[in-house]
Amino acid sequence: MSNTPIRVILADDHAVVRAGIRQFLERAKDIAVVGEADDGEQAQIMIQELHPDVAVLDIQMPKATGIEVTRWVRANARETGVLILTAYNDDPYVIAVLQAGANGYVLKTASPMEIIQAVRDVHEGKSAIQQAIAQKIVAFVTQQKNEAIIEALTDREMEVLVALAKGLTNKAIATQLGISDRTVQGHIAHIFNKMGVSNRTEAVMRAVALGWVPQAVINQS
């Protein structure tokens, strides 16, 4: 484990909720909350100024929603991971968050340890999706899978896709397959293009829906 803590900002319009989340996050010695925001616009300003490793965002916030902030992060602060922590599990929210490019989606009913692990996973480049949320995503993608013909992946691209499903970083994939980081990036770009997706989570969930990757693989570390 790195000696440098994971730098996190919290964005939620309920101060009591933020205080509770902050309290248990900071019990984890490898996490430091460096800022709090009570609306979406303030969250964007903090992300721009503080460059956190992970932004933990609620969905429903004044001035800008968590979904809007996620889109902004993907356009302006790609080095920051996004974990949605919310009470909402309605299908439209789940799908909108995924399409916006969030790295994780966890409900506030999750245990403190589940949320702490989700922050760690997002920081490591993994997808942090609760099982119930993953099932919704798979169901949605399954409905869509017949709407477009997906070009077959090469054997190497399939190896990379399975590694993505396991949550491996680009560097770890490169080491495992004996190729360069740049080559891994190229394979991922080809995978996204062939599958018609824009991020890792969407690629993995579509692969599960297509039967290319067993869902159990997603939970491997």
Its pTM stands at 0.65
Q: pLDDT per residue over 166-188, tens digit each?
A: 888 899 999 999 999 999 999 99
DSSP string covering 145-212: TTSSPPPPPPHHHHHHHHHHHTT--HHHHHHHHT--HHHHHHHHHHHHHHHT-SSHHHHHHHHHHHTS
Give the residue numbers spanning the domain of 46.
6-129
- In this structure, is residue 1 part of a structural domain? no
Share of the chain above pLDDT 90, in %: 48
- In this structure, is residue 190 part of a structural domain? yes
> Do 117 and 149 share a domain, yes or no?
no
> Of 129, 152, 176, which one is at a domain's C-terminal end?
129
The Cα–Cα gap between 60 and 86 comes to 8
* pLDDT at site 221: 42
User: Strand 6-11's sheet: what is its strand order?
Assistant: 31-37, 6-11, 54-57, 81-86, 104-107, 128-129
> Do 13 and 51 share a domain, yes or no?
yes
Written as six digits, the tokens of 196 are: 């018609």
> Do 17 and 105 share a domain, yes or no?
yes
Token pair 């996620």 in the structure block, residue: 70
Asked if the model's pLDDT at residue 220 lies above 70, the reply is no
> Of 108, 129, 150, which one is at a domain's C-terminal end?
129
Share of the chain above pLDDT 70, in %: 86
Count how many domains the chain has. 2
> Do 123 and 156 share a domain, yes or no?
no
Give whole-number Cα distances, 201 to 4, 100, 118, 219, in Å.
Answer: 26, 11, 14, 13
> Do 124 and 198 share a domain, yes or no?
no
Written as six digits, the tokens of 215 are: 């869902």
> Do 190 and 105 share a domain, yes or no?
no
> Do 37 and 103 share a domain, yes or no?
yes
Q: pLDDT per residue over 86-139, tens digit each?
A: 887 777 777 788 778 888 888 898 899 999 999 998 998 887 776 667 666 666
The answer to whether residues 201 and 191 touch, using CB atoms and an 8 Å cutoff, is no
> Do 52 and 121 share a domain, yes or no?
yes
* CATH number for the domain harbouring residue 157: 1.10.10.10
- In this structure, is residue 134 part of a structural domain? no
> Do 14 and 119 share a domain, yes or no?
yes
* CATH number for the domain harbouring residue 90: 3.40.50.2300
